[in-house]
Amino acid sequence: MSLAHTAAEYMLSDALLPDRRGPRLKGLHLELPLDRMVKFIAVGFPLLLMSLAFAQEFSSGPPIRCFSPSNFSIRQAAYVDGSCWDSLIHHEQDELGQNKMKSLWPHKALPPLLALAVVMYLPVLLWQYAAQPALSSDLLFIISELDKSYNRSIRLVQHMLKIRQKSSDPHVFWDELEKARKERYFEFPLLERYLACKQRSHSLVATYLLRNSLLLLFTSAIYLYLGHFHLDVFFQEEFSCSIKTGLLSDETHVPHLITCRLTSLSILQIVSLSSLTIYTLLVPVIIYNLTRLCRWDKRLLSIYEMLPAFDLLSRKMLGCPINDLNVILLFLRANISELNSFSWLRVLCVLKDTTTQKHNIDTVVDFMTLLAGLEPKPKHLTQRCDENP
């Protein structure tokens, strides 16, 4: 018997999780993987296009080339190029002979791209300052309590094993064990009540919904911008520029209009098409992030049902999934590597389904008492109870 108890003690000691010490906040992921991907693409893609525009300018020269009169010097031709690039106004005459002006400013790709990167980073800042502080404290507490609850269950079985060894009358031990189960002495309901309170809180889910809604709103604004401004100048490579302003307005040798060619047209076309494609591909990802709030992650909850006083599923305590608890469960899934108890509980769930006495196993305590040799109740004690009521 002593050899069996020693083996049980070794088994329970190996099942204990090591105590974690030191800062754990650095290892937490406070953004979901898909949200992080959307952030990198939505913010990084405009910056990538800006570097492409810079590279094109250095490799191909100025973004504009004007056909100045032959009597202009090199400096005068350079002035014409700079003036027409600064204005980017196309002059043309309508059917009535009136002068019409058309702005070509979308060809200046750098300022809109920089503004796009800043605007797309605003939802990230909202989440970072409005939600991450509270989320990090919630995750640290819940992860710590989940691991502690598992360790408490193992230590409880170790204590039960020691009591069983010291008990002179096994019948008294079994009676005390049954009484403890009926009175629910093995349960520690602090974590369950805290998670139940999170179902009535909506600050995290409101911030998460606002973040993704802003991303959809800004993406729609990109479509309007591309359709209204870029489509009108998408194929226009040449335009007529007027430099007869200021001191040059009375100069007779300066032509009224000068034809200029936009060598940066390919940059505009690449920016337009690639932006339309990339942000269109991001829309389904953002919508999927929102739809995940409409269902519970019951797989994670079902595994932690093995812990005492963690009956959110079995007691049907889950209501509408649009609350802070569902957001926390999503981030627990993203930080599953920080949950040391998850792998142990998943193994115990698999073993529970394969054992012949799974109807008697509800928690880790039940399963570990079975593995330690404390269950089921011996038959000769049952007969003794029947003979001596």
CA angle 87, 90, 95 (to 5 degrees): 150
Whole-angstrom CA distances from 236 to 88, 98, 230 are 12, 21, 10
Closest CA to 195 of 143, 148, 131: 143
**For the segment 93-127, what is each residue's pLDDT rounded down to a tens digit?**
666 556 777 777 777 767 788 888 999 999 999 99
Distance CA 225, CA 194 (A): 46
Average confidence score pLDDT of the chain: 77
Res 183 pLDDT > 60: no
**For the segment 353-389, what is each residue's pLDDT rounded down to a tens digit?**
766 665 556 666 666 666 555 554 544 444 433 444 4
Inter-residue contact 43 to 117 (CB < 8 Å): yes
Q: How confident is the model at residue 246 (pLDDT cuts 50, 70, 90)?
A: low
Winning range, highest mean pLDDT, from 7-21, 47-61, 129-143, 204-218: 204-218
Q: How confident is the model at residue 311 (pLDDT cuts 50, 70, 90)?
A: low
Res 331 pLDDT > 80: yes
pLDDT at residue 378, rounded to an integer? 47
pLDDT at residue 173, rounded to an integer? 57
Distance CA 213, CA 50 (A): 26
Distance CA 367, CA 360 (A): 9
pLDDT at residue 237, rounded to an integer? 76
91 Cβ partners below 8 Å, 6+ apart? 99, 100, 101, 239, 240, 241, 242, 257
pLDDT at residue 379, rounded to an integer? 43
Tokens, residue 295: 């269902």
Tokens, residue 89: 């106004």
Q: How confident is the model at residue 309 (pLDDT cuts 50, 70, 90)?
A: low
Res 230 pLDDT > 80: no
Winning range, highest mean pLDDT, from 10-24, 49-63, 214-228, 233-247: 214-228
Average pLDDT value for residue range 174-195: 64
Q: When comparing pLDDT for 245 and 328, which is higher?
A: 328
Inter-residue contact 227 to 243 (CB < 8 Å): no
Closest CA to 241 of 102, 104, 101, 91: 91
Distance CA 186, CA 138 (A): 24
Q: Please give the DSSP secondary-structure letter assigned to residue 258.
A: E
Average pLDDT value for residue range 284-293: 93
**H or E element, residue 62:** none
Res 227 pLDDT > 70: yes
Res 200 pLDDT > 80: yes
Res 276 pLDDT > 80: yes
314 Cβ partners below 8 Å, 6+ apart? 305
Distance CA 155, CA 58 (A): 69
- pTM, rounded to two decimals: 0.78
Please state which of the ranges 36-50, 134-148, 204-218, 340-354 shows the lowest mean pLDDT. 340-354
The residues with which 238 forms a beta bridge, in sequence order, are 261
Winning range, highest mean pLDDT, from 236-240, 244-248, 271-275, 280-284: 280-284
Q: Please give the DSSP secondary-structure letter assigned to residue 77.
A: H
Tokens, residue 23: 């800062």
**For the segment 14-60, what is each residue's pLDDT rounded down to a tens digit?**
566 666 655 554 678 899 999 999 999 999 999 888 888 777 777 77
Average pLDDT value for residue range 298-309: 77
pLDDT at residue 383, rounded to an integer? 42
